[in-house]
Chain A
Amino acid sequence: MNPSEKNRQTLREAIRQLPQHAAPGDAWERIAQQLDPAAEETGHETLSGAVDELPTYPAPAGLWQRIERKLPGSRKTWLAPAIGWAATLLVIFSVWLALPRFELIPPQADQQTEVLIPDPARLHDWQEARAAEESLAFACLDSLTAEPELDSLLSQYRRVAASLDSLALLIEARPLSEPAQGRFSRQEQRRKQLLARIQQKGCE
């Protein structure tokens, strides 16, 4: 036996005498976790049988309505924007309605009051005076039958009796006898006619 063959034999013998280590106790568990558990089960058919007999649960009633409300094209999806638009339009319309009243109407308010209670200080202009007088006359005529309180209202004006003369004085009207002149002659005529009608109707 040459030296090299003897060496190989010694090595083989040493390897043969190496101790055998035991596998760790949980090695199989670790392996089994990675395998299909059904392979190591007893009575797997029992489990399958029980699974096959498991009941089916009915979906709750009313769930479809909840789902439907969340779908595109549902009543809710178009109703909500529609309500939004309607509310916006309503607000805009309300503002539009309210704005003219706030801006255009003075605190002393309505037209009737302005006609019935002219402020002499504002009536220096002839044309304005006549227009107010005409309005007053028309208002008086129109309201004789429709508004019996007119006389009372007129008499309450600055505690002045509501006679034609006093009215004429209040609005700085010229006397009836004064001849018409200038470019207001036609309006003057008209004024006379109106005052005559008022006298006939007895608006005093």
Chain B
Amino acid sequence: MTAPDNIRPFGPRPEEQRLLAGCLAQDRLAQKALYDRYKDAMFTLCQRVLVDPELAQDALQEAFVAIFNSLGAFRGESTLGAWIKTIVVRTAYRKLRKQGPLEEPLDPHMEGESIDWGDHLAAEHLEKAMAALPAGYRNVFVLIEVEGYAHKEVADLLGISVGTSKSQLYHAKRYLQRLLTAKGIR
């Protein structure tokens, strides 16, 4: 049994609907309210993927302009937040690719190591280690481990295969572990 067309499984809540209507009518206050609601989370995502604050700022700006310009295309097939995040991720990924190729060669010394995160890992150490990851690894690691995307979603978002996503994550973790060990954190 399929749901009628007018019922959206993830449709916006009434409050979001009002916000959406305002944004679609180019109401600046509504647009600012929407921006304020998601700006920090989205900037954090951009910052983690791109590392460079200036690039992250540019990505967030580009993403929100795109969001407001294409809000009419939001069909309520996901939550508004998820839809916004999709645009932010794609914008950040585009910027990342402009920085250089993402297919980093594998480090042969990492082959065969097992991953052991130990008993405790401080967030600040993880943050620094993530920033030191090669861009391609970092992107997939952030999206899957931090943002909670599944491999299939990452594959769809970035236009890569599920296998590539899994491989990148695997190597990201190996790399991370090695970085943390080298710094004596683990």
Q: Which A residues are within 8 Å of any B CB, using their own CB?
A: 26, 29, 32-37, 40-44, 46-60, 63-64, 66-68, 70-73
Contacts and interface: CB of A to CB of B under 8 A. Distances in A.
Contacts of A72: 26, 69
Contacts of B170: 32-33, 37
A46 B171 CA distance: 18
Contacts of B26: 71-73
Interface stretch (B6-14, B57-65, B96-104): B57-65
A22 B132 CA distance: 38
Contacts of A43: 116-119
B119 A55 contact: no
B117 A63 contact: no
A72 B72 CA distance: 14
A37 B127 CA distance: 20
B105 interface: no
Contact of B169 (A37, A63, A64): A37
Contacts of A54: 48, 123, 126-127, 146
A41 B145 CA distance: 13
B95 interface: no
B160 interface: no
A54 B118 CA distance: 18
B109 interface: no
B61 A67 contact: yes
A29 B119 CA distance: 25
A47 B119 CA distance: 9
8 contacts: A29-B111, A33-B166, A33-B167, A40-B115, A41-B115, A41-B116, A50-B122, A63-B39
Contacts of B42: 59
B39 A50 contact: no
A201 B38 CA distance: 90
A42 B145 contact: no
State the majority secondary structure of interface residues on B. helix
Given A37-B115, A43-B119, A70-B65, A56 B41 contact: yes
Contacts of A33: 163, 166-167, 170-171
Contact of A46 (B35, B44, B119): B119
Nearest to B38: A59
A56 B48 CA distance: 10
Interface in B31-54: 31-32, 35, 39-44, 47-48, 53
B138 interface: no
A71 B64 CA distance: 10
Q: Point out which of A36, A41, A51, A60 has the most chain B C-beta atoms below 10 A from its C-beta.
A: A51
Contact of A50 (B47, B116, B121): B121
3 closest residue pairs by CB, A with B: A53-B123, A59-B39, A59-B43
A56 B40 contact: yes
B75 interface: no
Contact of A59 (B60, B151, B173): B60
A73 B163 CA distance: 45
Contacts of B47: 57
A36 B145 CA distance: 12
A37 B166 CA distance: 8
A63 B43 CA distance: 11
Contacts of A34: 163, 166-167
A57 B118 contact: no
B114 interface: yes
B57 A55 contact: no
Contacts of A64: 32, 35, 39
B68 interface: yes
Contacts of B31: 68, 71
